[in-house]
Amino acid sequence: MSATAKKMAPRDNGAPDYKKNLHPVMVENYGKWDYHEKLRPGVLVHVSTSGEKLFTVRAGSTRTLSVDKIRLICDIADRYCQGHLRFTSRANIEFLLANESDVDPCIKAINEELGFPVGGTGHSISNVTHTQGWMHCNLPGTDAAGSVKALMDELYSDFITDNNLPARVKITASCCSINCGGQADIAINLQHHHPPVTKPEGVSICELPKVVAICPVAAIRPRQENGGSTTLEVVEEKCMYCGACHGQCPTMEIRDAETDTLSIWLGGKTASTRSGPSFMKLAVWGLPNNAPRWPEVGEAVKRILEVYRNSAKKYERMGEWVERIGWKNFFDLTGFPFTKYHIDYSESSRNTFNTSSHVRL
Ligand code: SF4
Ligand code: SF4
């Protein structure tokens, strides 16, 4: 092997070998786990056939973290967790502990040094996740991180307690209808209500074939100007206001502080437990994009959770519950209006209710 080759990373693409980063107790007991249980809200124990135990303390994070905060998190992991922790897909931080006597000091440090709550296990709400938003993306029509902070303040008690809900409730917030937040029991999505407004003089900076190609409903087409130059036009009857073109060509502006609103979608699930994966469906639309606390969204989510808490059977996820009682009863029980926008009239709709987050109104 040449000297140059020796300097290269052993593997410079793809996912790293996760086994190198496992807690030593995990390595020792790989494939030998016997059972696990919840000790209290936010605290789990996994027990090996050898009798060895690994404790997990789950904390909700803010998802968007400063370097200083990450250093504090690592300090706590060094102190109590032999340097080991992991982030879940919902931005929980799971501190992994070999010694039960470290659990209480670890929770104290999480609460007092980080200011994060411990919980999110069992039949609770998960840490509310949000999309990357203004930190990375050029499309956001709302501040997903800010709205999640406001919402978590409202739902705090359902995060730190177990078994206060019929089943697990996963909540996301997405700052446009492209919905990076993905499927969730309750999803809060921003919606636009008109086609993009194109400034012809700005289109020339964009790669026109790419802009045409990105539209999922082929609503964008090139147009020859009198002078021979090419610009783009949007066929408004086809446009479903998704905003994908704005990411490809920033001059096609679709965000509108006057008309953009937030909507709530229910019943998405990726797990194949019981009823299998399902798409979420439109439940509430037209909520104001009301920064900095989005009180109307918090009120609507709390109303849905309250009816779900009182009406669903144990272990029934949000979508399973609504399918069992029927959407008519959902609207009757929650008091939210059922409108023509809840009906998906596109040729390719999978069923009569709207399962796309692109709502024309
Ligand atoms: S939801 Fe939309 S605006 Fe938000 S990060 Fe994803 S693509 Fe960007
Ligand atoms: S908003 Fe979506 S549907 Fe409308 S033109 Fe742009 S990419 Fe096409």
- Asked whether residue 359 carries a pLDDT value surpassing 80, the answer given is no
Q: Bigger pLDDT: 136 or 84? A: 84
C-alpha of residue 237 to centroid of ligand 2, in Å: 11
121 lines ligand 1 (CB under 6 A): no
Count the helices and strands in the chain (H runs, E runs): 11, 14
- Asked whether residue 1 carries a pLDDT value surpassing 70, the answer given is no
pLDDT value for 272:
86
Atom of ligand 2 nearest to the CA of 246: 6
C-alpha of residue 188 to centroid of ligand 1, in Å: 12
pLDDT value for 182:
85
C-alpha of residue 231 to centroid of ligand 2, in Å: 16
Q: In the numeric block, which tokens belong to residue 331?
A: 């609207």
- Asked whether residue 98 carries a pLDDT value surpassing 80, the answer given is yes
Q: Is the dihedral of CA 235, 239, 243, 245 positive or negative?
A: negative
List pLDDT tens digits, range 72-93: 999 999 999 999 999 998 899 9
- The pLDDT-based confidence of 12 (bands split at 50, 70, 90) is low
Give, using CA atoms, the residue closest to atom 7 of ligand 2.
215
- CATH level 3 topology of 129-193+256-342: Sulfite Reductase Hemoprotein; domain 1 (3.30.413)
CATH 3.30.70.20 residue ranges of the chain are 197-253
126 lines ligand 1 (CB under 6 A): no
Q: In the numeric block, which tokens belong to residue 321?
A: 């519950």
pLDDT value for 353:
54
Under a CB-based contact definition with an 8 Å cutoff, are residues 317 and 269 in contact? Answer: yes
CATH 3.30.413.10 residue ranges of the chain are 129-193+256-342
Considering 5-14, 69-78, 139-148, 347-356, the range whose residues carry the highest mean pLDDT is: 69-78
CATH 3.30.70.3340 residue ranges of the chain are 16-114
Kindly list the distances between the CA atom of residue 265 and the CA atoms of 119, 211, 231, 322, in Å, as whole numbers in the listed order.
24, 29, 36, 12
Atom of ligand 1 nearest to the CA of 138: 8
Give, using CA atoms, the residue closest to atom 4 of ligand 2.
239
- The pLDDT-based confidence of 181 (bands split at 50, 70, 90) is confident
- Asked whether residue 70 carries a pLDDT value surpassing 90, the answer given is yes
pLDDT averaged over every residue in the chain:
90
- Asked whether residue 361 carries a pLDDT value surpassing 50, the answer given is no
pLDDT value for 357:
57
Give, using CA atoms, the residue closest to atom 3 of ligand 1.
140
For 197-253, give the CATH class. alpha beta
Give, using CA atoms, the residue closest to atom 2 of ligand 1.
176
Least Cα distance to 355 among 247, 274, 239, 277 occurs for 277
List pLDDT tens digits, range 297-354: 999 999 999 999 999 999 999 999 999 999 999 999 999 999 988 887 666 555 545 5
pTM of full prediction above 0.85: yes
Kindly list the distances between the CA atom of residue 138 and the CA atoms of 257, 279, 347, in Å, as whole numbers in the listed order.
16, 26, 31
C-alpha of residue 137 to centroid of ligand 1, in Å: 6
Ligand whose nearest atom lies closest to the CA of 254: 2
Give the Cα-Cα-Cα angle 93, 36, 19 (nearest 5 degrees). 55
CB atoms within 10 A of CB 346: 12
- Asked whether residue 38 carries a pLDDT value surpassing 90, the answer given is yes
- The pLDDT-based confidence of 4 (bands split at 50, 70, 90) is low
pLDDT value for 347:
63
CATH architecture of 16-114: 2-Layer Sandwich (3.30)
List pLDDT tens digits, range 260-310: 999 999 999 888 888 888 889 999 999 999 999 999 999 999 999 999 999
C-alpha of residue 70 to centroid of ligand 2, in Å: 38
Cα Rg of the chain, angstroms: 24
Ligand whose nearest atom lies closest to the CA of 195: 2
pLDDT value for 36:
97
Q: Bigger pLDDT: 204 or 194? A: 194
List pLDDT tens digits, range 213-256: 999 889 999 988 887 788 899 999 989 898 999 989 988 999 99
Under a CB-based contact definition with an 8 Å cutoff, are residues 280 and 184 in contact? Answer: yes
Give, using CA atoms, the residue closest to atom 4 of ligand 1.
175
Atom of ligand 1 nearest to the CA of 181: 1
Which of 64, 137, 191, 242 for mutating ligand 1's site (highest number of atoms within 8 Å of CB)?
137
Peptide bond into 292 cis (omega under 30): yes
